[in-house]
Structure 1
Amino acid sequence: MTTPSSRPDGGPSVTTTKSSYSTGLGDEHPLTPEHPLGPGPTTAADVHMVVDHFFFTGRPGDFKQPLDWGANIVSSVTSVWVSACEVHAATHKPISGVARVEIRDVCPQDGGRVFVAGSIKWPTSTTPRDIVVRLSALAI
């Protein structure tokens, strides 16, 4: 076992001490489980992932937007992550406008539909208008 101590130059140094948990049988080796806990790490090639972008026009207030992907992609046990941003109406490129788009809930359903609930907020000093929102979704 090692314990840190301080050195005059401010950097750490290490001193070796005998563990109080030692069995006294000499060199101790880490335990290896008899039955591995899993098949090992998963790589991206092993995981079915789908990314898609959904657009809708919104105004200040709450929204509940359905994302229709199809039953072969999404079910109630699918993990879905969603990000939201305001985009330019003509180019659909993200912009940093005055609106704040927040996501509160992402709920995948059997049958291929995901409901995304959130809100769009404006500063009180600005006149609200319609904006185009992009929901970027990843399903695994």
Structure 2
Amino acid sequence: MSDDLEDELRRAAALFDPLPDDALQIAVDAFVVHALDAELAALSFDSLDEPALVRSGETPRLLTFSVPGLSIEVEFAGGRLLGQLLPPQAAAVVVNGRLPLVVDEFGRFEADGVPAGALSLRCEVPGRTVVTEWLTV
């Protein structure tokens, strides 16, 4: 394949199937997480998987991520994120690698203005670093 054809195909792909705005940052964050030897907290509960009698657009999404000895419970609705570490403990929590949150003595944290889209949490607790898998909210 010639360089000219390759350049033309690259331009066409960028025009007709552009890379989502946050895709590059997600890829960089995923690489950083991979390189840091952090524990991956798997999604163990998602309220979207549960049947609901009535579900409005404002129904909060409830998520639980788990690793041995730690659960991260999250509620997300309308750009507001509420969460709690169980068991409660001192921690540093960061949303999407960019938004640090304050964790209180009960393991609770919150953030406003979290955009819908890709979401991951990084929790640094005594003796370990835990990251959640990426999820679209």
After TM superposition, the score normalised by the length of structure 2 is 0.25
* Bigger relative CO (Cα 8 Å, ≥ 6 apart): 1
Greater percentage in helix: 2
Structure number with greater Rg is: 1
More strand by share: 1
